[in-house]
Amino acid sequence: EPEVTQTPSHQVTQMGQEVILRCVPISNHLYFYWYRQILGQKVEFLVSFYNNEISEKSEIFDDQFSVERPDGSNFTLKIRSTKLEDSAMYFCASSADIKGELFFGEGSRLTVL
């Protein structure tokens, strides 16, 4: 069964460093998402992406964040200058259509020191 895959599973970085989290969505899916979950808190929407552009983003998704689908298979989330409060589990998800089920990856744990 096809799955969304995410790398790395865990990344530790210093505050102020750039981080790129990578996702390979399910191959025939058209809608892509990033969510994050700070430890002990709810899963929060960051951004949705369709047809090579952002379709919606949350207040969390400020200028420090960007997303890209560079080669038609990968979907990346970049944090330009990490802050301590960016420490969280980041989930990538994809779906085949706008009302379809979201399929989640296993998450990338980001620890900012």
Binding site for another protein (CB under 8 A): 3-4, 31, 33, 35, 41-45, 48, 50, 55-56, 91, 95, 98-107
What is the separation, in whole angstroms, between the first and last Cα of the chain?
A: 37
Determine contact, residues 51/32, Cβ cutoff 8 Å: no
The least distance separating another protein from the CB of residue 99, rounded to whole angstroms, comes to 7
Give 31 or 86: the residue with its C-beta nearer to another protein.
31
- Please, which residue, 18 or 56, has the CB nearer to another protein? 56
Query: From the CB of 8, what's the least distance to another protein, in Å?
Result: 16
- 109: number of Cβ within 10 Å: 17
Output 43 or 113, the one with its CB closest to another protein: 43
Which of 33/65 has CB closer to another protein? 33
- Kindly report the number of other CB atoms within 10 A of residue 70's CB atom: 9
Angle at 60 between CA 56 and CA 65, to 5 degrees: 80
Residues whose CB is less than 8 angstroms from the CB of residue 33 and which lie 6 or more positions away in sequence, other chains included: 45, 46, 47, 48, 49, 92, 93, 94, 95, 102
Residue 101: CB minimum distance to another protein, A: 5
Quote the least distance from Cβ 42 to another protein, whole Å: 5
